[in-house]
Structure 1
Amino acid sequence: MRLLLVLACAGLLTACQLVYKLPTRQGNVIEQKQLDQLKLGMTREQVTYLLGTPLAASPFRTDRWDYVGYYKSPRGKVSKRIVTLYFEQDKLARMEGVEDTSASAGIENPDVKTVIREERKEAAESEREASERDSGVIITPQ
């Protein structure tokens, strides 16, 4: 009987999504405010100080660094970002993937403040939608 009660409680808790899932981060943590500080002509040391060590730097092609970031929120939203930097004579010459794509593609920024702000915004929108629904009472004109 106890086992049945424990299994029923566990089933109810998982059905209500009360189990917290940790966010998953892999690769480089790439934030837009760091990328906004990148300027052409910066040295490799300045870029390393600003963004950290690149995830993919080939020993055979030293003029290209790849920063790869992956984030999965507790709600299941996945965002990926790849930033490729090209160097010429140890100076930053070209950048790909630096522009902010979160507004156009719906990819959230993986920093904690943005995640919390987005969750609050979604909760407020769902409350607003729930309050705007009709009451179910149909009034017919006489």
Structure 2
Amino acid sequence: MKKITLVVLSLPFLSACSPSMPEMPKVPEMPEMPEMPEMPEMPSMSEFIPDISLPTLFRSDINQGSVLDRFSINQLKVGMSKAEVQDLIGSPSVADPFHNNQWDYINHSTLYKKDNINYRLTLIFDKNTLKNIDTSKLESLPPLTEKEQELENKRLADEKIIAKRAAKEKAEQAKSKAKAKAMAVKKAAAQAKALKEKQAAQAKVAAKAKAIADKKAEDEVKALAEKRAADKKALKKKQAAEAKVATREADLKEGYEAYEKAAERAKSLKGPNTPWYRFW
């Protein structure tokens, strides 16, 4: 049958390529067929055959990418480290070595008798610290189960208690810190006052000591000046006395020399046997 069909289909091609081939005879037109009478309506087979459910083919679930759940995602917090994020939701599907600040968790799952799942979770880091959590593409992620919702409520309640306790401790620490600061300020003010008073007393003592030292120095200078004046006066007096003595000695010497000269002259005038004295 296949060979006959091939031959029939090849004839037009061969006739076009070879001019020696004769033309195919025209097929006569077929006469119009008479209208067929309408068939009677057949009864439904369901009236004769009982309900039988057709077998359903089993199709396994296919999960591709990171498998996440809302319970784990809800525990992500800004400020976590990369190690803490990996411990919580695992390693990312995509971690660009040229943009190490972004982690992407991508999933495409085909589930049996369920809607397909397609979601993407993007995390932005600043070095090793989580700074932003983008959950805008998690619409197809299944919601929390009843058990997970209970755990989520418990976790939120525990976090609220912990946050309240932390806020209370922080307030108490702030109060203690403010009290300690006030005490430190008060103590510093008292120490500053005591230091100021001590410095004032020391300045007063120093001023008094300086006044005494200045008075002593002034007295010493005055005494030294008086001593110098007295020494100068005594020196002048001594010099005057010495000059007077020298003048007297010079006068005596001069008189003695004049006497000797007169005696010598008188002696030379009287002769050698003439006594030097005379009686009147």
Q: How would you bin the TM-score normalised by the shorter chain?
A: 0.5 to 0.7
Q: Which residue of 1 aligns with 2:86?
A: 48
CA-to-aligned-CA distance 1:77-125 (integer Å, 9 cap, x gap)? 2111100000013100001126863xxxxx35299x79xxxxxxxxxxx
> Is 2:123–2:134's contact at 8 Å kept on the other side of the alignment?
yes
Matches of 2:114 and 2:136 in 1, distance apart? 24
Deviation at 1:65?
A: 0.3
Matches of 2:76 and 2:136 in 1, distance apart? 9
Q: Which letter does structure 2 place at the counterpart of 1:46?
A: E
Q: Which residue of 2 aligns with 1:109?
A: 142
Among candidates 53, 68, 75, match of residue 113 of structure 2: 75
Q: Which residue of 1 aligns with 2:122?
A: 84
More strand by share: 1
Matches of 2:117 and 2:62 in 1, distance apart? 10
Identity of aligned residues (%): 24
CA spacing shift, 1:64–1:17, aligned 2, 3 Å = farther
| Ranges in structure 1 where 5+ consecutive residues have no aligned partner | 1-14, 102-106, 115-142
Deviation at 1:18?
A: 2.2
| Ranges in structure 2 where 5+ consecutive residues have no aligned partner | 1-52, 147-280
Q: Which letter does structure 2 place at the counterpart of 1:53?
A: S
Q: Please identify runs of 4+ aligned residues in structure 1 that moved more than 4 A.
A: none
More helix by share: 2
> Is 1:29–1:110's contact at 8 Å kept on the other side of the alignment?
no
2:96 aligned with 1:63, yes or no? no
Q: Which residue of 2 aligns with 1:37?
A: 75
Greater RCO (CA < 8 Å, at least 6 residues apart): 1
Matches of 2:54 and 2:141 in 1, distance apart? 25
Q: Which residue of 2 aligns with 1:26?
A: 64
RMSD of aligned C-alpha atoms? 2.5
Deviation at 1:71?
A: 1.7
> Is 1:84–1:97's contact at 8 Å kept on the other side of the alignment?
yes
Matches of 2:71 and 2:109 in 1, distance apart? 17
Tell me which structure has the larger Cα radius of gyration.
Answer: 2
SS of residue paired to 2:83: helix
TM-score, structure 2 as length reference: 0.31
> Is 1:54–1:65's contact at 8 Å kept on the other side of the alignment?
yes
Matches of 2:141 and 2:98 in 1, distance apart? 34
